[in-house]
């Protein structure tokens, strides 16, 4: 796979991109908690600025990725994202720190155009039998930076401050754009004849609405997206309030989660042919139910670390289970549009969860929010029951003629 020039080049650019994103995200998180004295509302707004564009622009970005030249799109997205970071530095020095939310928002929007462009290049230049391995490699890259990203991000911020952290991200993004520029130029005779965007979107919605399995998965997406969003911004408060530790200890929790994610991903790859995807997904959601409630309850650092290891280990079960079920229950002609419908469904509820998490924590308690999230994970698992019943009927029907 590494003999493929496109794979080598894009993976190298993604290394710089992921490193830059972690330096930025962790620096902004630590800076905002200092400026607001750990205000949960502002902490949750960071996540909203980062994830809301995924909900709004994922379909738009995917549509334009089919119309624009993918190499050029990726280069411009990385370059403009770097510019947005570098422009914010003097604003921070002489103006308001609120501009950080705007910079995060711009960078996240641009990523919704860059990511599908990378997938388009892979589809064009990577043999089909290697695509699954490539996707696993990309997931492993994300898990790797989940381990080292918090360490690097915390180190850069604590040693040099927010301005240098943003500058580092800007330089890394410019480096990513320069690496992508070494790819062969996009073909100039690309097909630009496309149907109306709204017609494509409506067709995808109708297809999901007619497909029972996809409707069930959509309902599961709603429950799990809300559950994940409610606790996503609050891990720093688990560190500060429940564990009574400095916020710098957050990096160790995230490292433990990421390391376990790498191991879990390897285990899932070995089980993929023997374990049905609906069972894989249900197991991941079931474990998340009890694990999330336990994280909210724990006041022990070793116990919380252990719970984060469990959470990271079973995360690939959820991710690969969902992706496999979508692939198996979707016709090839609708894969892109179904993903365009399902992803915003999940991310939309996740953004809503992140938006209200800080308010819920203030009104109720940290443990109450984590318990509610765990219950929602359980509801997501229960919503899969129709798929289990449908698959059981298929097995009975297949065995009846044989008997």
pLDDT at 399: 47
Residue-wise DSSP of 18-43: HHHHHHHHHHHHHHHHHHHTS-HHHH
Whether residue 136 is contained in a domain is answered as yes
Whether residue 128 is contained in a domain is answered as yes
Last residue of a domain, one of 158, 182, 206: 182
Whether residue 357 is contained in a domain is answered as yes
Say if residue 284 is in the same domain as residue 164.
no
Say if residue 80 is in the same domain as residue 220.
no
Burial of 77 (0-12, 13-18, 19+ CB in 10 A): buried
Rg of the chain taking only CA atoms, in angstroms = 21
DSSP state of 247: G
CATH number at residue 168: 1.20.1250.20
Say if residue 143 is in the same domain as residue 102.
yes
Whether residue 399 is contained in a domain is answered as no
CA angle 225, 231, 237 (to 5 degrees): 165
Whether residue 72 is contained in a domain is answered as yes
Number of domains in the chain: 2
Burial of 383 (0-12, 13-18, 19+ CB in 10 A): buried
The Cα 385–Cα 133 span in angstroms is 30
Say if residue 123 is in the same domain as residue 201.
no
Burial of 403 (0-12, 13-18, 19+ CB in 10 A): exposed
pLDDT at 272: 62
DSSP state of 161: -
Say if residue 127 is in the same domain as residue 167.
yes
Q: One digit per residue, pLDDT tens: the chain, 403 residues?
A: 678 888 889 989 999 999 988 888 888 888 888 888 877 777 777 777 777 777 677 777 766 766 778 889 899 999 999 998 888 888 777 767 777 878 888 888 888 788 778 877 877 787 766 665 666 677 677 777 877 887 888 888 888 888 888 899 999 999 999 999 998 887 765 444 455 667 766 776 788 788 888 888 888 889 998 998 899 888 889 999 999 888 888 888 888 888 888 888 778 777 766 777 788 888 999 999 999 999 999 999 999 999 999 998 998 888 777 777 776 777 655 665 676 677 777 877 887 888 888 889 888 899 999 999 999 999 999 988 887 766 555 544 444 555 5
Say which residues have a Cβ less than 8 Å from residue 186's Cβ, sequence separation at least 6.
Answer: 69, 70, 71, 72
Last residue of a domain, one of 154, 182, 210: 182
Both structure tokens of 77: 């997205």
Say if residue 232 is in the same domain as residue 272.
yes
Say if residue 258 is in the same domain as residue 202.
yes
Last residue of a domain, one of 130, 157, 182: 182
The Cα 314–Cα 264 span in angstroms is 6
Q: What's the domain range around 92?
A: 1-182
Say if residue 258 is in the same domain as residue 301.
yes
Cα–Cα distances in angstroms (integers) from residue 102 to residues 48, 91, 177, 385, in the given order = 11, 11, 22, 42
Residue in 265, 287, 267 with CA at minimum distance from that of residue 142: 265
Burial of 271 (0-12, 13-18, 19+ CB in 10 A): middle
Q: Is the sign of the CA dihedral 150, 154, 160, 164 positive or negative?
A: positive
The Cα 118–Cα 73 span in angstroms is 9
Strands (E), 62-208: none
Say if residue 81 is in the same domain as residue 216.
no
- Render the burial of 7-32: b for 16+ CB within 10 Å, e for the rest: bebbbebbbbbbbbbbbbbbbbbbbb
Say if residue 128 is in the same domain as residue 211.
no
């Amino acid at each position: 796979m590494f003999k493929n020039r496109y794979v080598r080049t894009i993976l190298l650019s993604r290394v710089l991109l992921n490193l830059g994103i972690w330096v930025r995200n962790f620096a902004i998180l630590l800076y905002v908690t200092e400026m607001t004295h750990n205000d949960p509302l502002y902490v949750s707004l960071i996540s909203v600025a980062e994830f809301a564009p995924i909900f709004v622009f994922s379909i738009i970005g995917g549509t334009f990725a089919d119309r624009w030249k993918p190499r050029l799109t990726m280069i411009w997205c990385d370059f403009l994202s770097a510019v947005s970071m570098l422009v914010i530095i003097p604003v921070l020095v002489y103006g308001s720190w609120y501009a950080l939310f705007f910079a995060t928002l711009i960078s996240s929007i641009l990523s919704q155009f860059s990511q599908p462009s990378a997938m388009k290049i892979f589809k064009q230049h990577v043999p089909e039998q290697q695509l699954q391995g490539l996707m696993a490699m990309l997931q492993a890259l994300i898990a790797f930076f989940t381990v080292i990203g918090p360490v690097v991000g915390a180190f850069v911020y604590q040693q040099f401050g927010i301005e240098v952290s943003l500058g580092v991200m800007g330089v890394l993004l410019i480096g990513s754009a320069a690496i992508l520029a070494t790819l062969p130029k996009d073909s100039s005779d690309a097909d630009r004849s496309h149907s109306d965007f709204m017609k494509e979107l409506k067709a995808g919605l109708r297809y999901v609405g007619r497909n029972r399995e996809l409707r069930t998965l959509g309902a599961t997406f709603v429950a799990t997206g809300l559950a994940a969003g409610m606790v996503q911004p609050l891990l720093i408060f688990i560190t500060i309030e429940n564990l009574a530790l400095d916020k710098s200890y957050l990096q160790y929790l995230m490292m433990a989660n990421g390391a376990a994610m790498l191991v879990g991903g390897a285990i899932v790859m070995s089980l993929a042919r023997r374990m049905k995807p609906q069972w894989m997904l249900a197991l991941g959601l079931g474990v998340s139910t009890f694990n999330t409630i336990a994280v909210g309850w724990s006041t022990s650092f070793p116990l919380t670390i252990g719970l984060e290891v469990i959470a990271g280990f079973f995360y690939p079960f959820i991710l690969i289970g969902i992706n496999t079920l979508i692939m198996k229950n979707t016709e090839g002609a609708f894969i892109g549009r179904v993903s365009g419908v399902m992803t915003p469904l999940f991310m939309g509820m996740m953004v809503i969860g992140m938006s209200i998490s800080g308010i819920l924590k203030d009104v109720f308690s940290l443990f109450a929010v984590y318990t509610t999230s765990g219950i929602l994970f359980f509801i997501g698992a229960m919503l899969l029951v129709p798929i289990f019943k449908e698959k059981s009927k298929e097995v009975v029907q297949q065995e009846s003629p044989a008997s």
